[in-house]
Structure 1
Amino acid sequence: MKEAPALNDRPRTNDAVTDALRRDGYARYRAADLDLDAAARSRDLAEIEGVFATLPPDPYAPHTNRFRRYSHAVYLPWTGQLFFTPGAPDPTHGTVTEYWQDDHNPEFPDVRRRLPDLPTALHGNALLQCLIHTDLAHATWLDDLQRTPVYVGVHLLKLAVHASAETAVSSPNSLHQDGGSPATFTFAHFIGSTNIRGGENVIATPESAGRQPDDLPDTAVHARFTLHDPLDGYAVHDHRVSHYVGPVSLGDGTGPGERRILIIGIAPYGPRL
């Protein structure tokens, strides 16, 4: 369990990010917009990078050059407490956590995937905690996230290639929505990249889900951009837009190519009784 930060230690939010989410259904931000200094956070960032260095291949798509870990946490908005939930025992990965996108992922429709958990040592990482609480602060203006426990999904994703003939793709490899409640938000925090081409992000209308960005009229595309600097990112209010990241291929430098990103999903827990 992680206790809530003291009130004067909780992250400050940038009103422009929240305003853009409320107005447009998406927002882009630099690290400074989240009151973060990547250099000052170098030790915590290095710990996160260390986990990326040993990410296991996606067990459901081992030949896509995609690597990942995923865990759940629960946030109580009336106390500010955040609890990581234990994963299920697994003979290969130690513990795994269920990841479900109902029918919003055409590659895995209604499949409850069980993904390798984050290492428990990472739960207390001060930068990770700060990012989670900052993202929550940018989403909890929505009434549906103020009176119920909040589901937080923490996802480490790496696209990695080693040869010029290889590509690494996200899932699904098209514009999509993550599904679930109309109160679902997704926050993406860029961790870093090395020797790659591609990885363009696209935000488009919700009706564009299932399509490729280049097949859309200009009026359907809200934004196209590529992330470069650590801790820069974007956020989407899921049901109001669709989003996409393009494939990654090897760049012109030496050594392998990688794109590393931290995804934090936020949604209300629903009653099951």
Structure 2
Amino acid sequence: MEGLREHGFARYGAAQLGVSASSASRDLARIREVFAALPPDPYAPGTNRFRRYSHAVYLPWKDELSWIPGTPHPVHGTVTDFSQGEDDPEYSRKRRVLPDIPEALRGNALLLRLLRWDIEQVLSLKKLANRPLWAGVHLIRLGVDRPGQDAVSTPNCLHQDGGSAGTFTFAHLITRTNVTGGQNVIATPGSAGLQPDDPWADIHAAFTLTDALDGYAVHDHRVSHYVGPVRAGSEPGPGERSILIVGLAPYVPQL
């Protein structure tokens, strides 16, 4: 992916993924069912943000992707530790746990295809044949029920995810229905902490994902990024923007 190599970010759609939404309609429908039932973000009440999160590890020498079991939890069944690093201005150094991705979804063929495509891009950029690759898999839905409501992502500013120089983030749109807003912005690392309309923000690109499986990738330490709030559209009924976020980085031994 030349844009990711040269500029630190790139956009793509279903054609680049080698997947058509029509041929994967059954698997996409199942993914959307899980998104529709996501629990509210326990750390941001009132933001109309819903999420699940799990870890996986990929072993390049065996071409093996394995989900890491979560920790038992009395409400959510199992949960996984989630940290966005010290660069998160809202939750710096704060330990959080999020409800796991359901076991039944972990074998979804489309979900696995997206994960493996993301991994392929990172392996083509980094010499990681002898190192495990760590994956953080995040399901996020911004949902609004009525006019006047906002649904807000986090952090609500240009930011970096706080990983190593080998950290990459991939985003795949699952659903965008009856909403406005949700614009993505890519900027310089020095713009982190600013709003996109701040005169000091140095913007590379601004765009809105509209079609199923539209997406973008960022090399975390080379850019900052942001997604704007979504608001109810003009049609009656609720609206939502659901997206799959995959963070990938070389596994770092702790000993």
Give distance in 2, aligned partners of 1:177 and 1:216: 19
One-letter amino acid matched to 2:39: P
What is the aligned counterpart of 2:221 among 219, 222, 239?
239
Partner of 1:264: 246
Displacement of 1:104 in angstroms is: 1.2
Give distance in 2, aligned partners of 1:45 and 1:115: 23
What is the aligned counterpart of 2:113 among 113, 130, 138?
130
List runs of 5+ in structure 2 lacking aligned partners: none
Partner of 2:164: 181
Runs of 4+ aligned residues of structure 1 deviating over 2 Å after TM superposition are 141-147
Displacement of 1:102 in angstroms is: 2.0
What is the aligned counterpart of 1:72 among 29, 32, 55?
55
Q: TM-score of the superposition, structure 2-length normalised?
A: 0.97
Displacement of 1:97 in angstroms is: 0.4
List runs of 5+ in structure 1 lacking aligned partners: 1-17
Q: Is the 8 A contact 2:146 2:237 kept in 1?
A: no
Match runs of 1:201-212 below 5 Å: 201-212=184-195
Give distance in 2, aligned partners of 1:72 and 1:198: 29
Partner of 1:33: 16
What is the aligned counterpart of 1:230 among 212, 224, 240?
212
Please provide the CA RMSD for this pair: 1.1
Displacement of 1:217 in angstroms is: 5.2
Structure 1 window deviating more from structure 2 (74-83 vs 142-151): it is 142-151
Q: Alignment identity in percent? A: 60
Q: Deviations over 1:192-228 (max 9, x none)?
A: 111111000000001111000011457x211100011
**Matched residue pairs, number?**
255
What is the aligned counterpart of 1:113 among 93, 96, 107?
96
Give distance in 1, aligned partners of 2:223 and 2:249: 16
> Equivalent residue of 1:114, what SS?
strand
Give distance in 2, aligned partners of 1:216 and 1:232: 29
Give distance in 2, aligned partners of 1:39 and 1:92: 36
One-letter amino acid matched to 1:267: A
Give distance in 2, aligned partners of 1:178 and 1:207: 14
Q: Deviations over 1:149-181 (max 9, x none)?
A: 111111100001112221110000000111121
Give distance in 2, aligned partners of 1:76 and 1:200: 35
Q: Deviations over 1:28-55 (max 9, x none)?
A: 0111011110100000000100101100
What is the aligned counterpart of 2:233 among 225, 230, 251?
251
